[in-house]
Structure 1
Amino acid sequence: MVHLWQHHFGKPSRGGYHNREWAEKMHSVGLAPSSTGEPGGKKTWQRVTHYIAQGGPFRTVFAKLEKEGFDALYVELWDDAKKQAARRKKAASKTCYTCPSCGLNAWAKPNVRLMCAECVLDLEPPPPDEDADDKEEPEGDMAIGQEIDGLAVA
């Protein structure tokens, strides 16, 4: 419903991205956005789900409906967040490598060596437990094959 609200009354981001406006509206109706489906997950990103906030409007209204005999049909598609994260990681076809000095991001297939020409440092892959798609691919960063000051990014 929040997606529909944003489509008609807000400013949706590119397809599939959950922006701050969406996250704020989710909070206002009592649903807490989270990339993990639990407290502590990212509130905005490509893949964001939610959990029902304690004491929020959604929980309050649902409790009233339940007292009146309303029965919600709810099906959990994932039995736990770890399986969902493992599936996302397996499906990732590219990895974000980051310069430890200047923060430059470059996207490439997993297990490659990239170097920041500006800092002359190897770009670092994400930690093993971090999802490959946890970083947005920003505009303006280096791409494979791009040439900067006579140095090709490989």
Structure 2
Amino acid sequence: MVRPTEKTYDELQDAYDFFNRELFGGQLPDCIITLQREKRTMGYFSPNRFVSQHGLTQDEIALNPIYFDLTDITETMQTIAHEMAHQWQQHYGQRKSRHGYHNKEWAAKMIEIGLMPTDTGKPGGKTTGFKISDYPIERGAFLESVRKLKKEKFAISWRDRFSLVQQTMEEGAQPITVVTDTLTGEEVTHPRSKTKYVHQCVDEQTGEITDQNVWGKPGLNLVCGDCGRGFEQT
């Protein structure tokens, strides 16, 4: 019998290897895949995050099991491919993004592999910025690859029991997270009273403007680490 840890990571490694062949021509180096419960994050890429006893480094791709879907693998596979595009840019890109930013080079690679970047999660959104999601392009390479995976009966076997099913943000303050227990089907709502701070960051090189939002307790003095300007409390 395959143990749960082994099965979980073997499945994720198999997905990574498959997309590396199908979407990136086998270019990407090995990485270490981890499971992290980063708030409001489906996944992230961190270059050279791990080091061995011999001084060798490895990139990290982190995935949030709260968002895993055991019935349809598509969205989880989107997250893996999204982060692999960041890894591709780290190793082969000519205009690397600053930390957390999604630039035009990364967006072009995403479109090439069949994922359309968008800041709204829907068609017509901005393709660059800090908070960028994506959706599959019809008849694109990504969807074709996922169809192949499904034909091979590929599956994600384990997920977080308490899964985020909805997240809404009331105007000005009061983030609300709705969590469901996948065993009982019960929903638990966790309101948290926080104040919204807003800022428009201007890239001095390109002139590109990025809207940034932060939530925290009232009265914070927040400064943007990229441009040095302050956030405004709403």
Give the structure-1-normalised TM-score: 0.53
**Aligned pair in 2 of structure 1 residues 7, 39: CA closer, same or farther (>3 Å)?**
same
**Aligned pair in 2 of structure 1 residues 49, 9: CA closer, same or farther (>3 Å)?**
same
Displacement after TM superposition at 1:8 (Å)? 0.6
**Aligned pair in 2 of structure 1 residues 78, 38: CA closer, same or farther (>3 Å)?**
farther
- What is the match of residue 76 of structure 2? none
CA RMSD after TM alignment: 3.5
Match of 1:55 among 139, 151, 155: 139
- What is the match of residue 2 of structure 1? 85
**Aligned pair in 2 of structure 1 residues 87, 36: CA closer, same or farther (>3 Å)?**
farther
Where do residues 96-135 of structure 1 align in structure 2 (5 Å cutoff)? 96=200, 133=212
**Which amino acid in the other structure matches residue 166 of structure 2?**
D
- Are 1:17 and 2:121 matched, yes or no? no
Unmatched 5+ stretches in structure 2: 1-83, 174-194, 201-209, 214-223
**Equivalents in 2 of 1:52, 1:27: separation in Å?**
9
Secondary structure of 1:93's partner?
A: strand
Unmatched 5+ stretches in structure 1: 97-130, 145-154
- Of Structure 1 and Structure 2, which has the larger fraction of its residues in strand? 2
**Equivalents in 2 of 1:89, 1:26: separation in Å?**
33
Match of 2:166 among 52, 70, 79: 79
**Aligned pair in 2 of structure 1 residues 65, 94: CA closer, same or farther (>3 Å)?**
closer
Count of residues in Structure 1 that have an aligned counterpart in Structure 2:
102
**Equivalents in 1 of 2:112, 2:150: separation in Å?**
21
**Which amino acid in the other structure matches residue 89 of structure 2?**
Q
Give the structure-2-normalised TM-score: 0.36
- Are 1:44 and 2:123 matched, yes or no? no
Displacement after TM superposition at 1:37 (Å)? 1.5
Match of 1:93 among 179, 197, 220: 197
Task: Calculate percent identity across the aligned residue pairs.
Answer: 36
Larger radius of gyration: 1
**Equivalents in 2 of 1:26, 1:56: separation in Å?**
11
**Aligned pair in 2 of structure 1 residues 4, 95: CA closer, same or farther (>3 Å)?**
closer
**Which amino acid in the other structure matches residue 133 of structure 1?**
Q
Contact 1:16 1:46 in 2 (8 A): yes
**Which amino acid in the other structure matches residue 55 of structure 1?**
R
